[in-house]
Amino acid sequence: MSEVFNACEYLLDRQLATGAGERIALTGPAGELTYTQLHEAVLRAAGALRGLGLQPEQRVLMFMADEPQFVIVYLAAMRIGAVPVPVSTMSHADGLADLLRDSRARLLTVSGPFADTAAAALADVPDLTAVLGPKPQIDPAAPLPWHDLDALIAASEPDPAGYPTTEDSPAFWLYTSGTTGLPKGAMHRHGSIKVVCETYGAQVLGIRPDDRCLSAAKAFFAYGLGNSVLFPLAVGAASVLEPAPSRPELVAQRVSEYGVTLFFGGPTFFANMLRAELPRAAMAGVRLAASAGEPLPAALYERWTARFGVDIIDGIGMTEMLHIFLSNRAGEVRPGTTGQAVPGYELKIVDDAGAEVPVGTPGTLLVRGRSTATGYWSRYDASRQVFQGDWLRTGDTYVQDADGFYACLGRTGDMLKASGIWVSPGEVENRLLAHESVAQAVVVAAVDGDGLEKPVAYVILQPGRSATEEELIEFCRDGLPSFKRPRKIVFVGAYPTTATGKVRRVELRQLAATVLIDA
């Protein structure tokens, strides 16, 4: 028999055993809890979930903001062997209903601002037995009992009995569209939490008990879950939870108010912070920032670090790998690259036939490590496409240099051919970002009147700056081979983004479908 291992006990009980019970575990505008108080709340929530009939390996869908209740439910469910499933709070009612049906969730936990959306999603969810959250303003569309989550936890007796899970037991799911379209539940083991905490968390991020962590990415996203829950709790640090949508001004306020030392964002959010023209002292006290979700352009890195005086370590992770497996290191950043493999992970770059390519040759990045999900729930074909033996196919095109640093050339499907030669969107974007008037740039493929692919750039200008289309095209012509220059510049005020802040390139490609034909 395998040794008993429960991720809740790993994250929480260990801190009490080392005498850290009076340290702050969670803080922020929604309330503050010490490790002792969090442990007590988790035991009560475990009793509440068991009292509602939740069984090991049954799912509890979490439609919740970043607040202490999120962490309590997440830990309590794993403690009793059930499977918490955090999902995007940006989902509409029909999307939430799809996730409830797909996951066959028995319970749904809801934060106050999302109660009406949850109520509207309950018309046809046959496996759901109850909803835990504040009463909605509209009548529920299905005859299900609603329980006030806070009151239920407070009224329940602490249940200290943990379920005897192992490192290979199912722990939680995270839904992702990833590289193959429709949402899929990536199934993670209890042991995966320990892996990411002791690889990226300890050896790259270097998180310490005296750190205070704030993440612009929310905890329903794999990146945010690690930043706001897994890494801080694993070392007895504090998580600053922000229930409201992340905005530059709000982040700066929370950094000052709660003494944040580690800040996590993505390239789009870092660019928005610069565009917001925050004061140079806005990140005072932050010792390190981390970026993921999209490649961080070198020009954006230089601008952000120059303004705020805080280094950014850029990395790449995937929901299917739980967190970051390739990253720069503090003090050893090579701007424009995603760094080197995180200890504990192996990488290789392959061609279309699956053969490993020489250094300096672009190809698709594959990764393997002990935090890989066991597969997608009820998605056999999609699992086979992504989980290939020991290796996971990222769907990103990368190139490795002679020093072992990896640079992202874009999603494999985002690459385009101009004049018969492959063009990386990232290379053209980096050139545009070198122009003093450009704040952000996204390059996608568009078909011209001859049916040939050409680069088109969607550009956001710096506040108070101006530039013409002809000026930027000529700027690219001066710094790139002529065939790589954008054939058109489209000026925009914002980009369509996913719930996790990534630019939705697929929408920009759709917008660009006729711009060269109509021009």
List the CATH code of the domain at 416-518: 3.30.300.30
Record the pTM.
Answer: 0.85
Does the pLDDT of residue 280 top 70, yes or no? yes
pLDDT in the model for residue 482: 79
What contacts 14, CB < 8 A, 6 or more positions away?
Answer: none
pLDDT in the model for residue 180: 42
Q: Can you tell me the mean pLDDT for 311-320?
A: 96
Q: Which residues make beta-bridge pairs with 212?
A: 238
Residues 373, 377, 382, 385: is their CA dihedral positive or negative? positive
Does the pLDDT of residue 54 top 90, yes or no? yes
The first and second tokens of residue 176, run together, are 């992702």
* CA distance linking residue 129 with residue 415, whole number of Å: 46
Domain residue limits, the chain: 25-184, 189-411, 416-518
| Span 432-447, pLDDT tens digits | 999 999 999 999 988 8
Question: Which of 265-269, 363-367, 416-420 holds the top average pLDDT?
Answer: 363-367
pLDDT tier for residue 415 given thresholds of 50, 70 and 90: confident
pLDDT tier for residue 179 given thresholds of 50, 70 and 90: very low
Does the pLDDT of residue 142 top 60, yes or no? no
Which residue, 144, 128, 136, is CA-closest to 110? Answer: 136
- Length of the chain in residues, anyone? 519
Q: Can you tell me the mean pLDDT for 255-281?
A: 94
pLDDT in the model for residue 268: 83
The first and second tokens of residue 306, run together, are 């120059």
pLDDT tier for residue 421 given thresholds of 50, 70 and 90: low
What contacts 197, CB < 8 A, 6 or more positions away?
Answer: 230, 231, 234, 235
pLDDT in the model for residue 517: 82
The first and second tokens of residue 69, run together, are 């209740």
Among the CATH numbers 3.10.20.30, 3.40.50.300, 3.90.230.10, 3.40.50.12780, which is that of 189-411? Answer: 3.40.50.12780
The first and second tokens of residue 438, run together, are 């450009």
* CA distance linking residue 91 with residue 111, whole number of Å: 13
Q: Can you tell me the mean pLDDT for 136-161?
A: 85
Report the chain's mean pLDDT, rounded to a whole number: 93
50's enclosing H/E stretch is helix 35-51
| Span 351-407, pLDDT tens digits | 989 999 999 999 999 999 999 999 999 999 999 999 999 999 998 899 999 999 999
Q: Which residues make beta-bridge pairs with 192?
A: none
Does the pLDDT of residue 181 top 80, yes or no? no
3-state secondary structure 78-143: HHCCCEEEECCCCCCHHHHHHHHHHHCCCEEEECHHHHHHHHHCCCCCCCCCEEECCCCCCCCCCC
pLDDT tier for residue 417 given thresholds of 50, 70 and 90: low
| Span 185-241, pLDDT tens digits | 999 999 999 999 999 999 999 999 999 999 999 999 999 999 999 999 999 999 999
The first and second tokens of residue 51, run together, are 């009292």
| Span 65-112, pLDDT tens digits | 999 999 999 999 999 999 999 999 988 898 899 999 999 999 999 999
| Span 240-257, pLDDT tens digits | 999 999 999 999 999 999
* CA distance linking residue 4 with residue 169, whole number of Å: 10
- CB count, 10 Å around CB of 310? 16
Please report, rounded to a whole number, the percentage of residues in the chain having pLDDT higher than 70: 96
pLDDT tier for residue 510 given thresholds of 50, 70 and 90: confident
As assigned by CATH, the class of the 25-184 domain is: alpha beta
- CATH topology agreement for domains 25-184 and 416-518: no
Question: Phi and psi (nearest 5°) for 399?
Answer: -140, 140
Least confident of 418-427, 435-444, 473-482: 418-427
Helix (H, G, I), strand (E, B) or coil at 471: helix
